[in-house]
Structure 1
Amino acid sequence: MMTKQQTVIVGGGVIGLLTAFNLATQGQPVVLLDRSALGQESSWAGGGIVSPLYPWRYSPAVTALAHWSQDFYPQLAERLFAATGVDPEVHTTGLYWLDLEDEAEALAWAVREGRPLSPVDVSAAHYAVPVLGPGFSRAIYMADVANVRNPRLVKSLKAALLALPGVTIHEQCAVDGFIREGERIVGVNTASGEIRGEHVVLAAGAWSGELLHSLGLVLPVEPVKGQMILYKCAPDFLSGMVLAKGRYAIPRRDGHILIGSTLEHAGFDKTPTESALESLKVSAVELIPALADAEVVGHWAGLRPGSPQGIPYIGEVPGFEGLWLNCGHYRNGLVLAPASCQLFADLLLGRQPIIDPAPYAPAGRI
């Protein structure tokens, strides 16, 4: 019989939400805290491609999480839609990479990993995506890549959590420190008082490193700003995702087109800038010339939780019994969330982990 032990989760982005969901569906009481509203930081701001932008450039640790998540996303979306009536819109469009410098490495990776990535004639890319710009000479394509509409995923996860027993959600509830008794972390301090639990999980994205400072721990997770712009076109305007020179276009089902993104080290400043807007517009028109006549209907910035090699921290912190991490996913939080949160639940509940947990363990990394 599994014992019921309250878990306090700090951070209500997709990682915190899905961590809470995986524990609550196993009958574990959960308290989820966020300093603002749920999922309004990088979970809301990101593009939602269910693949690392350049998967062959990552370590096997990131690849293992990405593959598990990519295969799991469709059933997660179906389950959430059935439970809540809110569709996260996992939209499988495929992805074209154009004029890659490391195309040979990409294709070698695909063979090694058994992923359906292959070269196509650039004319085939133009045939499949008629609005694609003329300035490209080479293309590779992966057919099964999806994108998830991340604001809807957040909304769906929140609704699913609220329908489960034993779940408490506190929004506008900033954590300013941890409660320590001997070697154990037994809760957190908030503006409205102490909240205690058998386990405390830090899933606070770009803010995770700041929170751990109070315990004298140095977690190399730092904010990395990313800006995006949004166009509104006809629903069938863009039939697939395209990526060139580090910039991408993502179609939503209703005709919204996301163009992203910048990579900026500007601390916790989330102000959208005119220079980024102009740069993103240039990229948009280079990828899809017809966007020159389309209206930008949104422009925003978010803060990614930057980490060394983009490898997240998943597991218990040595020397601080009861303190757990699920953070530092850098550019791939939405991609890696299903696997990261399943692995986390396996570790916390003492189950056989879905993949080898060693590369993500905080021990020796902080």
Structure 2
Amino acid sequence: MAKDFLVVGGGAIGMLSTLLLARSGASVLLIEGGSVGRESSWAGGGIVSPLYPWRYSAAVTALAHWSQDFYPGFGQRLLDETGIDPEVHVTGLYWLDMDDEAEALAWAGRQGRPLLSVDIDQAYRQVPVLGAGFSRAIHMSGVANVRNPRLVKALRAALAAMPNVEVREHCPVSGFVHEGGRVRGVTTAEGEVRAERVVLAAGAWSGELLATLGLRLPVEPVKGQMILYKCAGDFLPSMVLARGRYAIPRRDGHILVGSTLEYAGFDKTPTADALESLKASAEELLPALRDAEVVGHWAGLRPGSPEGIPFIGELASHPGLWLNCGHFRNGLVLAPASCQLLADLMLGREPIIDPAPYAPAARLQ
């Protein structure tokens, strides 16, 4: 018997879409080509804010603001339901020596966000391990980071507890099933899998799948490399960002430093050059890291898209096929709002925000 919904892609976007659709009582099948939650969602830093929120369009800002307000309660609900803590860690964020500081402050004034200019001496008092030589700082309180490997683990556990959800891993999708003028499912190595409606949430691979329909979705893989240090739990009290690189503290003292931005196709091999570049940035930002061991180095593939605006909605040219993809650098930031908007549209509810900026029809090439 065909499911109500079939979701292609088991990252944070796919899993949360599945969860929200299933909470309506619908039957949902999630198909993932590899292991759920092991691609971009696992590899990112988990800052619950765009890196430079003032540089984005109103479309990204609307999703980001809704998600930022949603995350603390979301993390607590997942902990209560699964016993797995996604560790939504509120630290605030300092940006140092920004060339467009005036634009950032003007944006914050318009948006009512708590981004303020602070005296550099205050920044050094608040973050004593900060490297020397910075002259200006702006700070936003309340910015959190989520420990994304634990978030995807909690989402997987939440889905496993739902009797109306099936998760099928290691099942690559190769195309779509058409019947009666609609998309009715997908083709896999195991045969056809059918559903009343299909959601494409395959991250950086979404463009390749839509190409099987003769459509050009401008979503491409953008490689990002990260390194991880282990320090004392109180080593870094706030997230910091300067010269295009950031440091993120976890509650247990792990410090993530990232990230590169590379257009290298689907190659996600970590490189020695990136390791040295990231270490140099880390030590410039936080000199004490010279004496700390790099305990992890990895790469992930972001789903790059024009202006970072995701595609959310039904493809008018292919009824029955819905998109939730193309979140670029902000998948974890935008996931709650993106998936809620998708669920609202698919279930015929009043959408949380205006869906027009994300509608695929006007933006496919």
Q: TM-score, normalised by structure 1?
A: 0.98
Aligned to 1:38: 36
Q: Secondary structure at the match of 2:157?
A: helix
Residues 244-323 of structure 1 mapped to structure 2, 5 A cutoff? 244-323=242-321
Q: Secondary structure at the match of 2:221?
A: strand
Partner Cα separation in structure 2 for residue 283 and residue 346 of structure 1: 42
Q: Give the Å deviation of 1:319.
A: 1.5
Amino acid at match of 1:88: P
**1:24/1:165 contact within 8 Å kept:** no
Q: Secondary structure at the match of 2:225?
A: strand
**2:311/2:324 contact within 8 Å kept:** yes
Residues 60-71 of structure 1 mapped to structure 2, 5 A cutoff? 60-71=58-69
Aligned to 1:233: 231
- Is 1:363 aligned to residue 361 of structure 2? yes
Identity over the aligned pairs, expressed in percent? 73
Q: Which runs of 4+ in 1 moved over 4 A?
A: none
Partner Cα separation in structure 2 for residue 356 and residue 80 of structure 1: 27
Amino acid at match of 2:246: Y
Q: How big is each residue's C-alpha offset from its partner over 1:57-102, in whole Å with a ceiling of 9 and x where there is no partner?
A: 0000000000000000001001100000000000000000000000
Which of the residues 69, 89, 92 maps onto 2:90?
92
Aligned to 2:70: 72
Partner Cα separation in structure 1 for residue 168 and residue 106 of structure 2: 47
Aligned to 2:134: 136
- Is 1:338 aligned to residue 360 of structure 2? no
Q: After alignment, is 80-89 or 175-184 more displaced?
A: 175-184
**2:19/2:159 contact within 8 Å kept:** yes
Aligned to 2:5: 7
**2:79/2:85 contact within 8 Å kept:** yes
- Is 1:108 aligned to residue 78 of structure 2? no
Q: Give the Å deviation of 1:5.
A: 5.9
Q: Secondary structure at the match of 1:197?
A: strand
Q: Give the Å deviation of 1:330.
A: 0.2
Which of the residues 115, 119, 122 maps onto 2:120?
122
Partner Cα separation in structure 2 for residue 99 and residue 353 of structure 1: 39
Partner Cα separation in structure 1 for residue 11 and residue 311 of structure 2: 16
Partner Cα separation in structure 2 for residue 235 and residue 193 of structure 1: 50
Q: Give the Å deviation of 1:182.
A: 3.6
Amino acid at match of 1:8: L
Partner Cα separation in structure 2 for residue 36 and residue 62 of structure 1: 29
Structure 2's unaligned 5+ residue stretches are none
Amino acid at match of 1:334: L
Partner Cα separation in structure 1 for residue 317 and residue 45 of structure 2: 37
Aligned to 1:22: 20
**1:233/1:257 contact within 8 Å kept:** yes
Q: Secondary structure at the match of 1:83?
A: helix
Amino acid at match of 2:66: W
Q: Give the Å deviation of 1:159.
A: 0.4
Partner Cα separation in structure 2 for residue 116 and residue 5 of structure 1: 44
Q: Give the Å deviation of 1:6.
A: 1.2
Q: How big is each residue's C-alpha offset from its partner over 1:186-232, in whole Å with a ceiling of 9 and x where there is no partner?
A: 00011111110000000000000000010001000000000000000
**1:135/1:286 contact within 8 Å kept:** no
- Is 1:325 aligned to residue 320 of structure 2? no
Q: Secondary structure at the match of 1:321?
A: coil
Q: Give the Å deviation of 1:292.
A: 0.5
Partner Cα separation in structure 2 for residue 365 and residue 257 of structure 1: 38
Amino acid at match of 1:360: Y
**2:3/2:194 contact within 8 Å kept:** no
**1:183/1:319 contact within 8 Å kept:** no
Q: Secondary structure at the match of 2:213?
A: coil
Partner Cα separation in structure 2 for residue 57 and residue 298 of structure 1: 30
Structure 1's unaligned 5+ residue stretches are none
Q: Secondary structure at the match of 2:262?
A: coil
Aligned to 1:203: 201
Which of the residues 147, 169, 173 maps onto 1:149?
147
Amino acid at match of 2:23: T
Partner Cα separation in structure 2 for residue 48 and residue 122 of structure 1: 26
Amino acid at match of 1:57: R
Partner Cα separation in structure 1 for residue 298 and residue 133 of structure 2: 28
**2:3/2:29 contact within 8 Å kept:** no
Partner Cα separation in structure 2 for residue 308 and residue 225 of structure 1: 16
Aligned to 2:175: 177
Compute the RMSD of aligned alpha carbons: 0.8
Aligned to 2:162: 164
Amino acid at match of 2:100: D
Partner Cα separation in structure 1 for residue 188 and residue 251 of structure 2: 40
Amino acid at match of 2:49: S
Amino acid at match of 1:288: L
